[in-house]
Amino acid sequence: MQHSSTQDTLVGLFVAAGIAGLFFLALQVSNLSSFTEQEGYTITARFENSGGLKVKSPVSAAGVKIGQVSAISFDPKTYESVVKMRINAQYNSIPDDTTASIFTAGLLGEQYVSLEPGGSSEYLKEDGKIEITQSAIILEKAIGQFLFKSAEEKK
Amino acid sequence: MMDFIQTLGRNTRSSFTKLGRATFFLVQTVIGIADILPRPRLLLNQLYSVGVLSFLIISISGLFVGMVLGLQGFYILSDFGAEETLGVMVAASLVRELGPVVSALLFAGRAGSALTAEIGLMKATEQLSGMEMMAVDPIKRIISPRFLAGFISMPLLAALFSAIGIIGGQIVGSGLLGVDDGAYWSQMQAKLDFQDDIINGVIKSLVFGFVTSWIALFEGYDAIPTSEGVSRATTRTVVTAAFSILGLDFVLTALMFGDD
Protein backbone atom coordinates (compact mmCIF):
# COMPACT_ATOMS: atom_id res chain seq x y z
CA MET A 1 0.00 0.00 0.00
CA GLN A 2 1.30 3.38 -0.95
CA HIS A 3 1.95 6.27 1.35
CA SER A 4 -1.34 7.64 2.53
CA SER A 5 -1.07 11.24 1.31
CA THR A 6 -0.05 10.13 -2.19
CA GLN A 7 -3.06 7.88 -2.16
CA ASP A 8 -5.30 10.74 -1.10
CA THR A 9 -4.01 12.82 -3.97
CA LEU A 10 -4.62 10.04 -6.47
CA VAL A 11 -8.15 9.40 -5.19
CA GLY A 12 -8.80 13.14 -5.33
CA LEU A 13 -7.53 13.30 -8.90
CA PHE A 14 -9.63 10.31 -9.88
CA VAL A 15 -12.85 11.75 -8.45
CA ALA A 16 -12.09 15.15 -9.97
CA ALA A 17 -11.41 13.56 -13.37
CA GLY A 18 -14.64 11.59 -13.16
CA ILE A 19 -16.68 14.64 -12.32
CA ALA A 20 -14.89 16.61 -15.05
CA GLY A 21 -15.89 13.83 -17.46
CA LEU A 22 -19.52 14.15 -16.41
CA PHE A 23 -19.40 17.92 -16.84
CA PHE A 24 -17.81 17.51 -20.23
CA LEU A 25 -20.63 15.20 -21.28
CA ALA A 26 -23.27 17.53 -19.89
CA LEU A 27 -21.95 20.78 -21.34
CA GLN A 28 -19.96 19.91 -24.42
CA VAL A 29 -21.79 16.87 -25.71
CA SER A 30 -25.46 17.36 -24.86
CA ASN A 31 -27.78 20.29 -25.31
CA LEU A 32 -27.69 21.32 -21.66
CA SER A 33 -25.94 24.60 -22.49
CA SER A 34 -28.91 25.61 -24.59
CA PHE A 35 -31.35 24.18 -22.10
CA THR A 36 -34.89 25.02 -22.99
CA GLU A 37 -36.58 25.40 -19.62
CA GLN A 38 -36.18 29.14 -19.85
CA GLU A 39 -38.78 31.85 -19.65
CA GLY A 40 -41.21 31.82 -22.50
CA TYR A 41 -44.80 31.85 -23.64
CA THR A 42 -46.94 29.27 -25.40
CA ILE A 43 -48.78 29.84 -28.65
CA THR A 44 -51.04 27.49 -30.57
CA ALA A 45 -51.41 26.83 -34.26
CA ARG A 46 -53.82 24.46 -36.01
CA PHE A 47 -52.57 22.56 -39.01
CA GLU A 48 -54.50 20.45 -41.46
CA ASN A 49 -51.63 17.99 -41.32
CA SER A 50 -48.57 18.26 -39.10
CA GLY A 51 -46.69 15.47 -40.89
CA GLY A 52 -43.65 14.18 -39.05
CA LEU A 53 -43.49 17.04 -36.56
CA LYS A 54 -42.55 15.90 -33.05
CA VAL A 55 -42.48 17.33 -29.56
CA LYS A 56 -39.16 19.23 -29.17
CA SER A 57 -38.96 19.98 -32.89
CA PRO A 58 -37.53 23.45 -33.40
CA VAL A 59 -39.60 26.56 -34.10
CA SER A 60 -37.71 29.08 -36.14
CA ALA A 61 -38.17 32.51 -37.63
CA ALA A 62 -35.94 33.68 -40.48
CA GLY A 63 -33.86 30.54 -39.91
CA VAL A 64 -33.12 31.30 -36.26
CA LYS A 65 -34.40 28.95 -33.58
CA ILE A 66 -36.72 30.89 -31.27
CA GLY A 67 -38.52 28.08 -29.46
CA GLN A 68 -39.72 24.51 -29.69
CA VAL A 69 -42.85 22.45 -30.08
CA SER A 70 -44.20 21.53 -26.64
CA ALA A 71 -47.26 19.43 -27.48
CA ILE A 72 -49.09 18.03 -30.48
CA SER A 73 -52.65 16.78 -30.23
CA PHE A 74 -55.52 15.88 -32.52
CA ASP A 75 -58.76 17.83 -32.38
CA PRO A 76 -61.57 15.29 -32.90
CA LYS A 77 -64.10 17.99 -33.85
CA THR A 78 -62.28 19.83 -36.59
CA TYR A 79 -59.94 16.95 -37.52
CA GLU A 80 -56.98 19.22 -37.25
CA SER A 81 -53.63 18.86 -35.59
CA VAL A 82 -53.18 21.27 -32.68
CA VAL A 83 -49.54 22.21 -32.22
CA LYS A 84 -48.47 24.06 -29.07
CA MET A 85 -45.20 25.93 -29.30
CA ARG A 86 -43.11 27.45 -26.55
CA ILE A 87 -41.40 30.63 -27.69
CA ASN A 88 -38.49 32.07 -25.70
CA ALA A 89 -39.46 35.17 -23.74
CA GLN A 90 -36.94 37.43 -25.46
CA TYR A 91 -38.83 37.08 -28.75
CA ASN A 92 -41.97 38.84 -27.58
CA SER A 93 -42.72 40.93 -30.65
CA ILE A 94 -44.18 38.38 -33.06
CA PRO A 95 -47.18 39.93 -34.89
CA ASP A 96 -50.52 38.15 -34.44
CA ASP A 97 -50.99 37.72 -38.19
CA THR A 98 -47.87 35.57 -38.47
CA THR A 99 -47.96 32.56 -40.78
CA ALA A 100 -46.81 29.20 -39.45
CA SER A 101 -45.61 26.57 -41.93
CA ILE A 102 -44.09 23.15 -41.46
CA PHE A 103 -40.94 22.61 -43.48
CA THR A 104 -38.37 19.88 -43.73
CA ALA A 105 -34.70 20.60 -43.15
CA GLY A 106 -33.08 19.19 -46.27
CA LEU A 107 -34.64 16.41 -48.26
CA LEU A 108 -34.66 13.82 -45.49
CA GLY A 109 -34.07 16.02 -42.45
CA GLU A 110 -36.32 16.59 -39.48
CA GLN A 111 -39.41 18.76 -39.72
CA TYR A 112 -39.69 22.15 -38.07
CA VAL A 113 -42.16 25.00 -37.74
CA SER A 114 -41.22 28.17 -39.54
CA LEU A 115 -42.88 31.44 -38.54
CA GLU A 116 -43.15 34.21 -41.12
CA PRO A 117 -44.06 37.48 -39.38
CA GLY A 118 -46.92 39.52 -40.79
CA GLY A 119 -47.45 43.24 -40.59
CA SER A 120 -49.80 43.63 -37.65
CA SER A 121 -48.85 45.85 -34.75
CA GLU A 122 -50.53 43.52 -32.23
CA TYR A 123 -48.14 40.96 -30.81
CA LEU A 124 -48.78 37.35 -29.85
CA LYS A 125 -49.00 36.74 -26.11
CA GLU A 126 -49.37 33.74 -23.81
CA ASP A 127 -51.99 31.35 -25.28
CA GLY A 128 -52.03 33.33 -28.51
CA LYS A 129 -53.28 31.65 -31.66
CA ILE A 130 -51.77 31.66 -35.11
CA GLU A 131 -54.62 31.77 -37.62
CA ILE A 132 -52.78 31.32 -40.91
CA THR A 133 -51.04 28.01 -41.25
CA GLN A 134 -49.59 25.91 -44.00
CA SER A 135 -49.47 22.14 -43.59
CA ALA A 136 -46.47 19.93 -43.87
CA ILE A 137 -45.53 18.98 -47.38
CA ILE A 138 -45.85 15.23 -47.62
CA LEU A 139 -43.22 14.13 -50.09
CA GLU A 140 -45.12 11.05 -51.26
CA LYS A 141 -48.20 13.17 -51.99
CA ALA A 142 -46.18 15.72 -53.93
CA ILE A 143 -44.51 13.01 -56.01
CA GLY A 144 -47.90 11.38 -56.62
CA GLN A 145 -49.41 14.63 -57.83
CA PHE A 146 -46.45 15.31 -60.07
CA LEU A 147 -46.65 11.88 -61.67
CA PHE A 148 -50.41 12.23 -62.10
CA LYS A 149 -50.02 15.61 -63.74
CA SER A 150 -47.31 14.51 -66.16
CA ALA A 151 -49.41 11.49 -67.10
CA GLU A 152 -52.35 13.76 -67.91
CA GLU A 153 -50.23 16.09 -70.00
CA LYS A 154 -49.16 13.23 -72.22
CA LYS A 155 -52.75 12.37 -73.16
CA MET B 1 -34.58 -40.01 -15.69
CA MET B 2 -35.08 -39.87 -11.93
CA ASP B 3 -31.48 -38.75 -11.66
CA PHE B 4 -32.07 -35.89 -14.02
CA ILE B 5 -35.12 -34.69 -12.11
CA GLN B 6 -33.25 -34.97 -8.86
CA THR B 7 -30.35 -32.92 -10.19
CA LEU B 8 -32.74 -30.33 -11.53
CA GLY B 9 -34.43 -30.09 -8.15
CA ARG B 10 -31.14 -29.84 -6.29
CA ASN B 11 -29.82 -27.15 -8.63
CA THR B 12 -33.01 -25.12 -8.38
CA ARG B 13 -32.98 -25.34 -4.62
CA SER B 14 -29.31 -24.43 -4.32
CA SER B 15 -29.62 -21.47 -6.67
CA PHE B 16 -32.59 -20.17 -4.69
CA THR B 17 -30.79 -20.53 -1.39
CA LYS B 18 -27.80 -18.77 -2.93
CA LEU B 19 -30.03 -15.94 -4.10
CA GLY B 20 -31.46 -15.74 -0.59
CA ARG B 21 -28.01 -15.60 0.97
CA ALA B 22 -26.95 -12.97 -1.56
CA THR B 23 -29.96 -10.80 -0.76
CA PHE B 24 -29.37 -11.11 2.97
CA PHE B 25 -25.71 -10.23 2.38
CA LEU B 26 -26.71 -7.18 0.33
CA VAL B 27 -29.04 -5.92 3.06
CA GLN B 28 -26.30 -6.24 5.68
CA THR B 29 -23.81 -4.52 3.38
CA VAL B 30 -26.11 -1.59 2.71
CA ILE B 31 -26.86 -1.22 6.43
CA GLY B 32 -23.10 -1.34 7.05
CA ILE B 33 -22.57 1.71 4.82
CA ALA B 34 -23.83 3.91 7.66
CA ASP B 35 -20.78 2.86 9.69
CA ILE B 36 -18.32 4.12 7.10
CA LEU B 37 -19.20 7.75 7.62
CA PRO B 38 -17.16 8.13 10.83
CA ARG B 39 -14.19 6.39 9.14
CA PRO B 40 -13.80 7.87 5.66
CA ARG B 41 -10.26 6.47 5.48
CA LEU B 42 -11.68 2.97 4.84
CA LEU B 43 -13.63 4.24 1.85
CA LEU B 44 -10.69 6.26 0.55
CA ASN B 45 -8.40 3.22 0.53
CA GLN B 46 -10.98 1.27 -1.44
CA LEU B 47 -11.65 4.11 -3.86
CA TYR B 48 -7.95 3.95 -4.57
CA SER B 49 -7.79 0.23 -5.25
CA VAL B 50 -11.15 0.00 -7.05
CA GLY B 51 -11.30 3.33 -8.86
CA VAL B 52 -7.84 4.78 -9.32
CA LEU B 53 -6.27 1.49 -10.36
CA SER B 54 -9.03 0.94 -12.96
CA PHE B 55 -8.53 4.44 -14.31
CA LEU B 56 -5.78 3.61 -16.80
CA ILE B 57 -7.43 0.60 -18.44
CA ILE B 58 -10.73 2.49 -18.70
CA SER B 59 -9.22 5.59 -20.29
CA ILE B 60 -7.08 3.69 -22.78
CA SER B 61 -9.96 1.41 -23.78
CA GLY B 62 -12.23 4.44 -24.08
CA LEU B 63 -9.78 6.17 -26.37
CA PHE B 64 -9.49 3.17 -28.67
CA VAL B 65 -13.20 2.39 -28.71
CA GLY B 66 -13.89 6.01 -29.64
CA MET B 67 -11.25 5.94 -32.37
CA VAL B 68 -12.64 2.74 -33.85
CA LEU B 69 -16.16 4.18 -33.78
CA GLY B 70 -14.87 7.26 -35.56
CA LEU B 71 -13.20 5.17 -38.25
CA GLN B 72 -16.06 2.72 -38.84
CA GLY B 73 -18.71 5.42 -38.59
CA PHE B 74 -16.88 7.55 -41.13
CA TYR B 75 -16.71 4.77 -43.71
CA ILE B 76 -20.40 3.95 -43.38
CA LEU B 77 -21.68 7.51 -43.13
CA SER B 78 -19.57 8.79 -46.02
CA ASP B 79 -21.47 6.40 -48.33
CA PHE B 80 -24.52 8.54 -47.67
CA GLY B 81 -22.64 11.81 -47.66
CA ALA B 82 -23.47 12.22 -43.98
CA GLU B 83 -19.97 12.40 -42.45
CA GLU B 84 -21.06 15.50 -40.54
CA THR B 85 -23.24 13.38 -38.30
CA LEU B 86 -20.23 11.33 -37.19
CA GLY B 87 -20.20 13.18 -33.87
CA VAL B 88 -23.81 12.20 -33.18
CA MET B 89 -23.10 8.56 -33.95
CA VAL B 90 -19.95 8.37 -31.81
CA ALA B 91 -21.42 10.29 -28.89
CA ALA B 92 -24.81 8.60 -28.86
CA SER B 93 -23.40 5.10 -29.00
CA LEU B 94 -20.83 5.88 -26.32
CA VAL B 95 -23.07 7.74 -23.92
CA ARG B 96 -26.06 5.46 -24.24
CA GLU B 97 -24.52 2.01 -24.57
CA LEU B 98 -20.80 1.49 -24.91
CA GLY B 99 -19.72 3.82 -22.11
CA PRO B 100 -21.72 2.19 -19.32
CA VAL B 101 -21.53 -1.37 -20.68
CA VAL B 102 -17.89 -1.68 -21.74
CA SER B 103 -16.59 0.16 -18.70
CA ALA B 104 -18.72 -2.10 -16.47
CA LEU B 105 -17.33 -5.20 -18.20
CA LEU B 106 -13.78 -3.91 -17.79
CA PHE B 107 -14.55 -2.99 -14.21
CA ALA B 108 -15.82 -6.51 -13.51
CA GLY B 109 -12.66 -7.96 -15.01
CA ARG B 110 -10.22 -5.53 -13.43
CA ALA B 111 -11.71 -4.65 -10.05
CA GLY B 112 -14.44 -7.27 -9.53
CA SER B 113 -12.14 -10.27 -9.85
CA ALA B 114 -9.60 -8.62 -7.53
CA LEU B 115 -12.31 -8.00 -4.94
CA THR B 116 -13.51 -11.61 -5.07
CA ALA B 117 -9.98 -12.99 -4.79
CA GLU B 118 -9.18 -10.67 -1.90
CA ILE B 119 -12.30 -11.49 0.11
CA GLY B 120 -12.08 -15.18 -0.77
CA LEU B 121 -8.47 -15.36 0.43
CA MET B 122 -9.37 -13.49 3.61
CA LYS B 123 -11.99 -16.15 4.19
CA ALA B 124 -9.62 -19.02 3.31
CA THR B 125 -6.94 -17.72 5.68
CA GLU B 126 -9.60 -17.19 8.34
CA GLN B 127 -9.04 -13.47 8.62
CA LEU B 128 -12.78 -12.89 8.52
CA SER B 129 -13.37 -15.33 11.38
CA GLY B 130 -10.50 -13.69 13.24
CA MET B 131 -12.24 -10.33 12.97
CA GLU B 132 -15.45 -11.81 14.26
CA MET B 133 -13.53 -13.19 17.25
CA MET B 134 -12.36 -9.65 17.98
CA ALA B 135 -15.96 -8.47 17.77
CA VAL B 136 -15.31 -6.56 14.55
CA ASP B 137 -18.08 -7.08 12.03
CA PRO B 138 -16.28 -8.08 8.80
CA ILE B 139 -19.24 -6.93 6.72
CA LYS B 140 -19.07 -3.42 8.13
CA ARG B 141 -15.30 -3.27 8.16
CA ILE B 142 -14.39 -5.04 4.90
CA ILE B 143 -17.41 -5.43 2.64
CA SER B 144 -19.36 -2.18 2.94
CA PRO B 145 -16.47 0.19 2.10
CA ARG B 146 -15.64 -1.88 -0.98
CA PHE B 147 -19.25 -1.95 -2.05
CA LEU B 148 -19.65 1.80 -1.69
CA ALA B 149 -16.36 2.40 -3.50
CA GLY B 150 -17.53 0.30 -6.45
CA PHE B 151 -20.87 2.07 -6.52
CA ILE B 152 -19.20 5.50 -6.55
CA SER B 153 -16.41 4.64 -9.00
CA MET B 154 -18.54 3.07 -11.70
CA PRO B 155 -20.42 6.19 -12.94
CA LEU B 156 -17.20 8.21 -12.77
CA LEU B 157 -15.34 5.60 -14.81
CA ALA B 158 -18.19 5.33 -17.32
CA ALA B 159 -18.31 9.11 -17.74
CA LEU B 160 -14.55 9.17 -18.30
CA PHE B 161 -14.83 6.34 -20.79
CA SER B 162 -17.46 8.19 -22.81
CA ALA B 163 -15.70 11.54 -22.62
CA ILE B 164 -12.34 10.13 -23.69
CA GLY B 165 -14.05 8.04 -26.39
CA ILE B 166 -15.75 11.12 -27.84
CA ILE B 167 -12.40 12.89 -27.94
CA GLY B 168 -10.88 9.79 -29.58
CA GLY B 169 -13.62 9.86 -32.22
CA GLN B 170 -12.88 13.52 -32.81
CA ILE B 171 -9.14 12.87 -33.19
CA VAL B 172 -9.80 10.26 -35.88
CA GLY B 173 -12.84 11.92 -37.46
CA SER B 174 -11.73 15.51 -37.78
CA GLY B 175 -7.99 15.02 -37.30
CA LEU B 176 -7.32 12.21 -39.73
CA LEU B 177 -10.37 11.82 -41.94
CA GLY B 178 -11.31 15.46 -42.43
CA VAL B 179 -14.78 15.75 -40.91
CA ASP B 180 -15.45 19.37 -40.08
CA ASP B 181 -14.60 19.97 -36.43
CA GLY B 182 -17.45 22.39 -35.81
CA ALA B 183 -19.99 20.06 -37.39
CA TYR B 184 -18.73 17.18 -35.24
CA TRP B 185 -19.50 19.08 -32.04
CA SER B 186 -22.54 21.09 -33.08
CA GLN B 187 -24.44 18.13 -34.55
CA MET B 188 -23.68 16.23 -31.37
CA GLN B 189 -24.96 19.04 -29.17
CA ALA B 190 -28.08 19.44 -31.27
CA LYS B 191 -29.03 15.78 -31.22
CA LEU B 192 -28.04 14.55 -27.76
CA ASP B 193 -30.36 15.38 -24.92
CA PHE B 194 -29.09 15.88 -21.38
CA GLN B 195 -32.05 14.16 -19.76
CA ASP B 196 -32.58 11.35 -22.25
CA ASP B 197 -28.99 10.46 -23.04
CA ILE B 198 -26.53 11.60 -20.38
CA ILE B 199 -28.68 11.03 -17.29
CA ASN B 200 -29.90 7.66 -18.56
CA GLY B 201 -26.29 6.63 -19.20
CA VAL B 202 -25.36 7.60 -15.65
CA ILE B 203 -28.34 5.66 -14.27
CA LYS B 204 -27.20 2.63 -16.24
CA SER B 205 -23.68 2.83 -14.88
CA LEU B 206 -24.99 3.23 -11.31
CA VAL B 207 -27.03 0.04 -11.74
CA PHE B 208 -24.05 -1.79 -13.23
CA GLY B 209 -21.73 -0.59 -10.44
CA PHE B 210 -24.23 -1.77 -7.85
CA VAL B 211 -24.69 -5.19 -9.42
CA THR B 212 -21.02 -5.80 -10.22
CA SER B 213 -19.80 -4.89 -6.73
CA TRP B 214 -22.56 -6.96 -5.17
CA ILE B 215 -21.71 -10.03 -7.25
CA ALA B 216 -17.95 -9.67 -6.74
CA LEU B 217 -18.17 -9.23 -2.98
CA PHE B 218 -20.78 -11.91 -2.48
CA GLU B 219 -18.88 -14.48 -4.53
CA GLY B 220 -15.78 -13.79 -2.45
CA TYR B 221 -17.69 -13.93 0.81
CA ASP B 222 -19.51 -17.10 -0.24
CA ALA B 223 -16.45 -18.86 -1.70
CA ILE B 224 -15.44 -22.31 -0.54
CA PRO B 225 -12.38 -21.48 1.58
CA THR B 226 -9.78 -23.39 -0.43
CA SER B 227 -7.49 -22.25 -3.22
CA GLU B 228 -9.69 -24.03 -5.74
CA GLY B 229 -12.83 -22.50 -4.25
CA VAL B 230 -11.37 -19.00 -4.51
CA SER B 231 -10.30 -19.54 -8.10
CA ARG B 232 -13.79 -20.78 -9.01
CA ALA B 233 -15.41 -17.86 -7.22
CA THR B 234 -13.24 -15.43 -9.19
CA THR B 235 -14.29 -17.02 -12.47
CA ARG B 236 -17.94 -16.97 -11.42
CA THR B 237 -17.68 -13.28 -10.60
CA VAL B 238 -16.54 -12.35 -14.08
CA VAL B 239 -19.03 -14.64 -15.82
CA THR B 240 -22.04 -13.73 -13.68
CA ALA B 241 -21.22 -10.04 -13.73
CA ALA B 242 -20.86 -10.04 -17.52
CA PHE B 243 -24.20 -11.81 -17.97
CA SER B 244 -25.96 -9.53 -15.51
CA ILE B 245 -24.53 -6.39 -17.10
CA LEU B 246 -25.57 -7.37 -20.62
CA GLY B 247 -28.98 -8.66 -19.55
CA LEU B 248 -29.73 -5.63 -17.41
CA ASP B 249 -28.54 -3.38 -20.21
CA PHE B 250 -31.21 -4.80 -22.48
CA VAL B 251 -33.91 -4.32 -19.85
CA LEU B 252 -32.77 -0.78 -19.00
CA THR B 253 -32.53 0.19 -22.67
CA ALA B 254 -36.03 -1.12 -23.30
CA LEU B 255 -37.34 0.88 -20.34
CA MET B 256 -35.45 4.10 -21.09
CA PHE B 257 -35.45 4.44 -24.83
CA GLY B 258 -38.53 2.39 -25.62
CA ASP B 259 -41.09 5.11 -26.19
CA ASP B 260 -39.47 7.72 -28.36
Of A92-101, A102-111, B25-34, B223-232, the least confident: A102-111
Secondary structure (H, E, C), B158-226: HHHHHHHHHHHHHHHHHHHCCCCHHHHHHHHHHHCCHHHHHHHHHHHHHHHHHHHHHHHHHHHHCCCCC
Do the beta carbons of residue A120 and residue A148 sit within 8 Å? no
For A10, nearest residue in chain B (alpha carbons): B52
Q: Is A8 on the interface with B (CB under 8 A)?
A: yes
Report the pLDDT averaged over residues B41-58: 88
Q: How far apart are the first and last CA of chain B?
A: 50
The per-residue pLDDT for A3 is 61
> What distance in Å separates the CA atoms of residue B119 and residue B24, rounded to the nearest whole number?
17
Domain ranges in chain A?
A: 4-33, 38-143
Question: A10 vs B45: CB contact, 8 Å cut-off?
Answer: no
Q: pLDDT per residue over B222-254, tens digit each?
A: 889 898 999 999 999 999 999 999 999 999 988
If residue B6 lies in a helix (H) or strand (E), which one and from where to where?
helix B2-32
φ and ψ of A112, to 5 deg: -145, 165
Residues B147-157: pLDDT tens digits?
999 999 999 99
pLDDT of residue B195 exceeding 90: no
Q: For testing the chain B interface, which of A19, A29, A35, A107 should be mutated: the one with the most B CBs within 10 Å? A: A29
Q: Mention every residue, 6+ apart, whose C-beta is less than 8 A from residue B69.
A: B89, B90, B93, B94, B98, B165, B168, B169
Give the whole-number percent of chain A exceeding pLDDT 90.
3
Q: How many residues does chain A have?
A: 155
Kindly state the average pLDDT of the residues A10-35: 80
ipTM higher than 0.85?
Answer: no
Q: Are B178 and B167 in contact (CB under 8 A)?
A: no
Cβ distance A15 to B91 less than 8 Å, yes or no, reads no
Rounded Cα distance between A7 and B83, Å, is: 44
Indicate the helix (H) or strand (E) that contains A73: strand A64-75
Average pLDDT over residues B156-165: 93
- Which of B51, B163, B164 lies at the smallest CB-CB distance from A14? B51
Taking CB atoms and an 8 Å limit, are B198 and A25 in contact across chains? Answer: yes
- Rounded to an integer, the average pLDDT of A61-72 is 86
Evaluate whether B147 touches B217 at the Cβ level (below 8 Å).
yes
| % of chain B residues with pLDDT over 90 | 50
Segment B96-107 shows an average pLDDT of: 93
pLDDT of residue A108: 66
Strands A128-130 and A40-47 turn out to be parallel
Q: Say what percent of chain A tops pLDDT 70.
A: 90
How many other CB atoms are there within 10 angstroms of residue B214's CB atom?
Answer: 23
A residues 24-43 lying closer than 8 A (beta carbon) to B: 24-26, 28-35
Contacts A11 to B, Cβ<8 Å: 44, 47-48, 51-52
CA dist A90 and A16 (Å) reads 37
- Out of B44, B159, B166, the one facing A22 most closely (by C-beta) is B159
> pLDDT at position B168, please?
92
Q: Does B157 contact A at CB distance below 8 Å?
A: yes
Residue A132, H or E segment: strand A132-134
Residue A130 neighbours by CB distance under 10 Å: 22
Distance CA A100, CA A72 (A): 15
Residue A37 has pLDDT above 70, yes or no: no
Predicted local confidence at residue A128, as pLDDT: 85
Judge: A25–B163 Cβ closer than 8 Å, yes or no: yes
- Amino acid identity of residue A22, one-letter, is L
Read off the DSSP letter of residue A138: P
Per-residue pLDDT averaged across B120-149, rounded?
89
Interface mutation vs chain A, best among B50, B59, B153, B194, most A CBs within 10 Å: B194
Stretch 68-97 of chain B: residues touching chain A, C-beta under 8 Å: 91, 95
Q: Out of A29-43, A55-69, B221-235, which region has the weakest mean confidence (pLDDT)?
A: A29-43
Q: Domain residue spans in chain B?
A: 50-257
Residues of chain A in contact with residue B47, where contact means CB-CB under 8 angstroms, are 11, 14-15
Predicted pLDDT at B65: 94
Q: What is the mean pLDDT of residues B151-164?
A: 92
pLDDT tier for residue A107 given thresholds of 50, 70 and 90: low
Tens digits of residue pLDDT in A87-96: 888 888 888 8
Rounded CA separation B120/B136 (Å): 18
Rounded to 5°, angle at Cα A19 from A13 and A22: 145
Contact A31 B194 (CB under 8 A): yes
The pLDDT assigned to A140 comes to 79
With contacts defined as CB-CB under 8 Å, which chain A residues touch B156? 14-15, 17-19, 21-22
Q: What is the pLDDT of residue B117?
A: 93
Give pTM, 2 decimals: 0.77
